[in-house]
Amino acid sequence: MVTNEEKRGTTTLLQSTERAVELAEIVADARDFVAASRAENTTRVYRTGWAQFTAWCDEHGVTALPATPETVACYVADLAKVAKPATIDLRLAAISAAHRAAGHDAPTKAEAVRLVRRGVRRTLGTAQREVRPITVPDLRMMLEGLGTDPAGCRDRALLLLGFAGALRRSELVGLDVDDVTEGTDGLLVRLRRSKTDQEGAGRTVGVPFGSNPVTCPVRAWRAWLEVSGVTDGAAFRPVDRHGHIGATRLSAPAVALVLKRHAARAGLDPDEVSGHSLRAGLATSAAAAGVPERVIAEQTGHKGTAMLRRYIREGSLFRENAASAVGL
């Protein structure tokens, strides 16, 4: 016969077990939220950077975690032989994140590391490789020869929507059909999440009708929907050489390949073109046309002004040029 004391003990044990299970579930949820606090691309870059650092440490017989400032300083000096300053900064960010996650102080803050990093930047410079902006004349050449078949219609819509909306390739491939609605003045493109909006607040971009039917993004969007028959889900999808449209979402690298392919066909250097070229092209072209910085920023969604002003300066090199006014 089970005594009352034994029953109470059993009840207490069960309650403790339930609390432990509940706590474990809460801990698991917390880990998921921590993982979600960083963009997927950032997490991937950190993971790759940390793996490369630990491999270097193994090769040189030093401890990766916790690493000494001297180890990190030597790693930076060695990495500078093959990597650009921007890449080195990403690796240092990965090392710092890994140490903080493990409860250690980040060795990247040490004076030895900062001095080596500063010397690398002074020696190698900090200029980043800039992609070629796809301007309107470039875009017209890239559109020439595109047919009315599924691949042609998709690529035309991809190029024109990406350019007119100043969209990143991740934003383009992330679009669903329901995210694009047509109004009296053009398309309303709802961006549910972007690089600078990781919490998913979202924003809406207006894509107006084009004055030329050949370069009108609204007409291109209509043609793609008509030929594809896509009514929901992913807006842009793979198209095979037989014209069959896939059910999956087009990948971000595929957007860059589409751009490079049509750039090469138009006589442009495909190595200078990337998925960012459409976005850069709209900002540069708008600046050349005299569009105010505030209006360009509203379209591109730039939070800061440093990168945007780089495009604006390039677009304004000859519109506002001191040498053009001195009578040469």
Confidence of residue 26 (pLDDT cuts 50, 70, 90): low
Separation of alpha carbons 73 and 89, rounded Å: 12
CA 300 to CA 105: how far, in whole Å? 38
Are both 57 and 183 inside the same structural domain? no
**Secondary structure of residue 189 in the 3-state scheme:** strand
Domain termination site, one of 95, 124, 153: 124
Cα–Cα dist 153/54, whole Å:
47
Residue 319 scores a pLDDT above 70: no
Is the pLDDT score of 149 beyond 70?
Answer: yes
| Domain boundaries, position 69 | 40-124
Q: Which amino acid is at 323?
A: A
Residues annotated as catalytic are 168, 195, 276, 279, 302, 311
pLDDT 10s digits, 259-305: 999 999 999 999 889 888 999 899 888 888 888 888 888 888 877 66
Phi and psi at 206, nearest 5°, equal -90, 130
In a shared domain, residues 301 and 170: yes
Indicate if 293 and 210 belong to the same structural domain.
yes
Integer Cα distance of 223 and 217 in angstroms:
10
Distances (CA, A) of 143 to 47, 161, 227: 39, 13, 17
Q: Are residues 96 and 218 in the same domain?
A: no
Q: Which two tokens stand for residue 105?
A: 């102080």
Contacts of 303 (CB under 8 A, 6+ apart): 196
What is d(CA 278, CA 316) in angstroms, rounded to the nearest whole number? 18
Task: Determine if the pTM surpasses 0.85.
Answer: no
**Do 290 and 157 share a structural domain?**
yes
**pLDDT digits over 92-127, tens only?**
999 999 899 888 999 999 999 999 998 888 876 655
- Let me know whether 273 and 170 are in one domain: yes
Return mean pLDDT, the chain: 83
Weakest mean pLDDT among 48-52, 82-86, 220-224: 82-86
Confidence band (pLDDT; 50, 70, 90) for 45? Answer: confident
Structure tokens at 199: 């919490």
Tell me what pLDDT residue 3 has: 59
Minimum mean pLDDT range among 29-43, 242-256, 302-316: 29-43
What pLDDT sits at residue 41?
Answer: 64
- Determine how many CB atoms are found less than 10 A away from the CB of residue 260: 19
Looking up residue 86, the CATH number of its domain turns out to be 1.10.150.130
| pLDDT confidence band for 187 (50 / 70 / 90) | very high
Q: What does the pLDDT read at residue 299?
A: 87
Q: Of 124, 155, 172, which one is at a domain's C-terminal end?
A: 124
Confirm whether 104 is domain-assigned.
Answer: yes
Residue 134 — pLDDT band, cuts 50, 70, 90? Answer: very high
The last residue of one of the domains, among 99, 124, 149, is 124
CATH no. for residue 188?
A: 1.10.443.10
Kindly state whether residue 9 falls inside one of the protein's structural domains. no
Number of domains present in the structure of the chain: 2
Least reliable range by pLDDT among 15-19, 35-39, 71-75, 287-291: 35-39
- pLDDT confidence of residue 34: 46
56 inside domain: yes
Whether residues 49 and 149 fall in one domain: no
- Residue partners of 156: CB distance under 8 A and separation at least 6: 143, 146, 220, 223, 224
Phi, psi of 26, rounded to the nearest 5 degrees? -65, -40
Helices (H), the chain: 4-36, 40-60, 69-79, 85-101, 111-124, 136-143, 150-164, 169-173, 217-228, 252-265, 277-288, 293-300, 306-315
Whether 16 is covered by a domain: the verdict is: no
- Window from 148-152, 233-237, 263-267, 322-326 with minimum mean pLDDT: 322-326
Per-residue pLDDT for 177 more than 90? yes
95 and 172 inside one domain: no
How far is it, in rounded angstroms, from Cα 194 to Cα 293? Answer: 21
What's residue 276's pLDDT? Answer: 86
The pLDDT of residue 36: 47
Q: Is the pLDDT confidence value at 193 over 60?
A: yes
* pLDDT of 188 strictly over 60: yes
Residues 155 and 231 in one domain: yes
- Does one domain contain both 102 and 154? no
User: Across the strands, what pairs with 245?
Assistant: 239
